[in-house]
Structure 1
Amino acid sequence: MSEQSTLWARSVAESELAGSLPRRWAHTQGVADRARLLESVLGQKAKLLACAALLHDVGYAPGLATTGFHPLDGARFLRDVHGVDDHLTRLVANHSFALLEAEERGLREVLEIEFPLLEDQGLVDALVWCDMTTTPDGRPTTAEERVAKILNRYGAESVVGRFIRRAELEIFAAVDRVEATLPSHPR
């Protein structure tokens, strides 16, 4: 991944989200800002994280939402329309423990077959940290506050609510693992 890739990812995300979903675009920009804080920790993988941070929610775009499950819709769009490499599509498809939500939606097998989990736990954790410590408006927050707001917004018995309750301990553990690598804890 190069600086050019990051500029391309920003352009794609902005064109898909900024006009139709400005709050989602604000969140995306905040997630990308968080990714920049991990550059020194991730080294060569930092550009891949930056691209994933920019593209992780592209599947919410109205023209792309075919299954209603944004990680799958976004990864398919990136693969099928833009020919994006396997690592990036798999990271987008599986961001923030999406496999657990896919299970709630009856899409786990589809997600696992099309976009298997990456084995790079550090990179997966980094994207969880970026996403789950950013508010819908793009501001930094704690993972605990983010999970609580998601539960409040969607309701505990919704698909998203059931997923987030199942995933919260894993989210908190991923965030803790990333924060343990940081010289200071930017929040």
Structure 2
Amino acid sequence: MASTALSQWAYDLAERMLSEPLPRRWAHSLGVARRAQSLSPVLGGDADLLEAAAVLHDVGYSPSIASTGFHPLDGARFLRDQEGADERVTRLVAHHSCALLEAEERGLRHELEAEFTLEQPELVDALILSDMTTTPDGGPTTSTARVAEIVQRYGPDTVVGRFIQRAAPEIHAAVARVDRRMAAAGSSHPM
């Protein structure tokens, strides 16, 4: 799966942080990385960067580093402060899947924005598609089914439930933008 030093490092780190304490989260992360690989026709030189961010996107759930309870921020801080990770990978992890909206629900938006700037919109969209078209077990799904699954799992009136319902239009729009880019490149992401 991994092909360069950056992605190999990312796979090794994600496995170390997730595989034993959170095997289902590890399976999801591997699925997200596979989905990211499928987008390489439109990513050019950033394909490996996206794959690394994809496999690491949920590292903040690891019990050994979780501190705020907001995994994008915990993961990005860990990658930056403990691992000296590539800044672009760290920014993608910090902002994955409309994280600013969830940060707002948690009263952490200012911290997230102050510490981590947004990455290029095309990469942000590609990571949204990769995460939001992958089931918790790492299989393929649609963004509509994934949003519904998250609402059902967490409940509609929880922080995560409220956030994902607010984020749904942007999630679906990001998926559509990537799909259009893939179609223009003569490719499509597999389901």
TM-score (norm 1): 0.97
1:122-157 deviations in whole A, cap 9, x for unaligned? 110000000000000000000000000000000110
1:186 alignment counterpart = 190
1:86 aligns with 2:90: no
Partner secondary structure for residue 178 of structure 1: helix
Q: How does 1:45-64 map to 2 (within 5 A)?
A: 45-64=46-65
1:82-124 deviations in whole A, cap 9, x for unaligned? 1112211111000000000000000000000001212x11110
Query: Please, which runs of 5 or more residues in structure 1 have no aligned partner?
Result: none
Query: Runs of at least 4 residues of structure 1 off by over 2 A?
Result: none
2:159 alignment counterpart = 159
1:20 alignment counterpart = 21
Q: Aligned partners of 1:22, 1:100: CA distance in 2, in Å?
A: 27
TM-score (norm 2): 0.95
Equivalent residues of 2:38, 2:189 under 8 A apart = no
1:132 alignment counterpart = 132
Q: Aligned partners of 2:123, 2:11: CA distance in 1, in Å?
A: 19
1:36-91 deviations in whole A, cap 9, x for unaligned? 10112101010110100010000000011000000000000000011112211111
Deviation of 1:181 after TM superposition, in Å, equals 1.8
Give the direction of change, closer, same or farther, for the CA distance of 1:20–1:10 in structure 2 (3 Å limit). same
Equivalent residues of 2:135, 2:146 under 8 A apart = yes
Equivalent residues of 2:97, 2:171 under 8 A apart = yes
**Identity rate, percent:** 62
Deviation of 1:185 after TM superposition, in Å, equals 4.3
1:72 aligns with 2:106: no
Partner secondary structure for residue 140 of structure 1: coil
1:150 aligns with 2:154: no
Q: Aligned partners of 2:95, 2:43: CA distance in 1, in Å?
A: 19
Q: Aligned partners of 1:38, 1:86: CA distance in 2, in Å?
A: 21
Q: Aligned partners of 2:10, 2:23: CA distance in 1, in Å?
A: 17
Q: Aligned partners of 2:85, 2:27: CA distance in 1, in Å?
A: 23
1:112 aligns with 2:113: yes
Q: Aligned partners of 2:155, 2:132: CA distance in 1, in Å?
A: 18
Q: How many residues were matched structurally? A: 185
2:4 alignment counterpart = 3
19-28 vs 76-85, which moves further? 76-85
Query: Please, which runs of 5 or more residues in structure 2 have no aligned partner?
Result: none
1:169 alignment counterpart = 169
